[in-house]
Structure 1
């Protein structure tokens, strides 16, 4: 389930889906787009090696082309300091005349990002990660919206489908995301809920692969060595880690 927090309350489903499809925040701010000096659209994401973020960038570029605006992609590569520093540098370069769509690398990163944008007069939308006590209304009008998803339901549903596929019993291993991010925390809670409801499923081990296919590949190789045929299924908190686990299985002809 997708949840959006805005300055004025719920947004229409059509507007929300348009914004999600393009991956830009500008759709929520027609006043900015009518400004005489066109703003720069900025996308801040973790890594272009992640298929999710790669598609996000493509959508943002498509919208920018349609709107006749410049678009810049900032990539943190999982480094919070770099992510925040790059955003502040772009704020300085544009003089604050920009619209930022940010997936903060870590939950605490959202606050300095929002504060920097508000101070510079820029507009910002955050996705996925923010502290619970940070809200768009606190930085009106610059903090336009926060968009997140029901990670608990997501993690639980993934687990339930996996459990059904392996026949409702047996051992599994799990690969989690960056442990301090909201999405990773919630998806792990969903996995735990599914395990509690399925006592014939045994969690052999839970490892953090930080959303990365390369880390998932290495961890999965170690898990296969440790548990061998006891592993009947693998739960992964995102597609990139799932791909890494799959390649580890293929390397062992499994």
Structure 2
């Protein structure tokens, strides 16, 4: 009887040992470290409903294909919790590196911390977290906010009433673009901020918000700064529907296709172009350099914004 029990226990021990070995092997890195032919990078994107984010993702895809990288892209759908789950999944899959397009500065930070504790390099693209990643690739959003408000100040001769449509509250771009705009407002006492409210980067939400503001402020509105083009285009539609656009300066940020065309057509006054292609491709290049222990990678890459008006828009349209 005791011999039979011993046999059963030995079988159980062997089964557990095999399972543990299998888990260790399955969690091994899929890239250069285990002799694989390619590097695998997992990417969690803020929202694939946002055209700019899609443009960054497309640039990442193109660079990954060019470099022979296996890129796994997931949509966080604006949820920091979902983003955390993506990172957990990437760790379990044994990816070589992670690219994170953070949902929020604070709420997405645990995902960065988890990746670093697991020994997997993590590169933040386009947006920031309070936790420091292995590297960051993006642009200076404070400067973008300054550029937009400086344009308004110039167009209004330093005097007038401004509305600001903010992005998703708590995300780095929203925070820093507001800081930049406020810097210029403080330096230009003739400008008055009538109201500031979020439309969560969404065109339809911004259109509804602008309609409400038109009811509240009417012809007191001299200018509108929308923190991204989607919201700028929503505001544009509301202003045009009310027959007010000719009297209101409108600028937004990103330089997506619809906004560039609106600038070309003279419907929107300007957009501050953010280089989605540059951010996406550089994020993949940076991740690959880190995986391959290439010391030439930069811990921070800031790609400049560019002001696009009717005078220079043709050079930005394909």
Q: TM-score, normalised by structure 2?
A: 0.61
The equivalent position to 1:150 in structure 2, one of 140, 150, 169, is 140
Q: Confirm or deny: 8 A CA contact 1:97 1:121 kept in the other structure.
A: no
Determine the C-alpha separation between the residues in 2 that align with 1:74 and 1:213.
23
1:68 lines up with 2:68 in the alignment: yes
> Aligned residue for 2:239?
249
1:98 lines up with 2:96 in the alignment: yes
What is the RMSD computed on CA atoms of the aligned residues?
2.2
> Aligned residue for 1:135?
132
1:236 lines up with 2:226 in the alignment: yes
How far off is 1:107 after superposition? 0.7
* Structure 1 residues without counterparts, runs of 5 or longer: 1-31, 137-143
> Aligned residue for 1:173?
163
1:157-203 CA distance string (max 9 Å, x none)? 21010122233322111011222223222221221121122222221
* Structure 2 residues without counterparts, runs of 5 or longer: 1-29, 246-318
Determine the C-alpha separation between the residues in 1 that align with 2:194 and 2:56.
34
Q: Confirm or deny: 8 A CA contact 1:126 1:145 kept in the other structure.
A: yes
Query: Radius of gyration: which is bigger?
Result: 2
1:109 is paired with a residue whose SS is coil
Alignment of 1:6-85 (within 5 A): 34-35=32-33, 36-37=35-36, 38-85=38-85
Range with greater deviation from structure 2 (224-233 or 61-70): 61-70
For residues 168 and 208 of structure 1, do their structure 2 counterparts lie closer, same or farther at Cα, with a shift above 3 Å needed?
Answer: same
> Aligned residue for 1:201?
191
Determine the C-alpha separation between the residues in 2 that align with 1:251 and 1:42.
43
The number of aligned residues is 213
Q: Confirm or deny: 8 A CA contact 1:160 1:194 kept in the other structure.
A: yes
Q: TM-score, normalised by structure 1?
A: 0.75
Q: Confirm or deny: 8 A CA contact 2:90 2:98 kept in the other structure.
A: no
Q: Confirm or deny: 8 A CA contact 1:155 1:187 kept in the other structure.
A: yes
